[in-house]
Structure 1
């Protein structure tokens, strides 16, 4: 049965934002004098808040603050070094035309989430665009997803979460929401399946079929 409402993650699900994020993370490493990581190492940064990853790496509060400042300085440009995945614009248009309530739940901070959605002129497609508050760290997006569910005005059992990382799937499960993992994003099929995804798709076309 098709879901009555759909909550979408942003990075790695609607947009391929890797170029801007990688550039911002490399700038952060350069400013702090840290060794430049490989692309594979940077991939692990895509998902949870950067502040969370810095804390888990053992950096003290002062270092975390400096690193985040450098990251955000470069992100002013990097935020828009991205593109919609091919087929996403048409998918959202079709879902909206069919009357499906849509919302966004992302680990991006709220102002950045809104800026990206407006950059792609997608604001009219969504009942709500929900990012995290700056102080919200950790690996759970449940609080943000809960806000998104409220914005579509439906019970959790009538909503599905679409995301590319384990945090999307596991956080949705905390709320009793089924998760569809998109393996075309930044997480692997194995990661999404291990997190308990109801379905895992490898392309936007497969996502369209899964949402029917």
Structure 2
């Protein structure tokens, strides 16, 4: 009996090892399945993020293109006409800025700059606004498009000044509207002046 006893112990150890090997095999298989599931989820998220990044980039490019197109459309519908009556001193400059499109021109600003012909230095000219009117543009029936005339502050010359006039004031030019501004120019000397 004593000789059978060690064999029983050995057999028992072999069974335990088999159980442990089976458990380890199942555990390894479960870990491998879990690893492949996690890799699949990571690949899915990576694909989703890549697709999202591509779509966001395309959307951003489309928005930029639309903004550029709208800006070009607005600029093509802003017209500036200048009429100088230089037969007397002071010279009278009439400036008409028209917005012929259906959108307002917002955050606009204007400036007048003068220099002597052939020179880079500014010409010394006294600038004074005589009249500034905002009104609707006349349509084909020669009637104003609904906006009544008003006299705002000058968009070019906030107050009488000497030299170039730069107004920091921003204004909005409503759709189908024009600003007519008359400015008096008194040069300090007789010379050809570029404005």
TM bin (shorter chain): under 0.3
State the structure with more CA Rg. Answer: 2
Structure with the higher fraction of residues in strand conformation: 2
Structure with the higher fraction of residues in helix conformation: 1
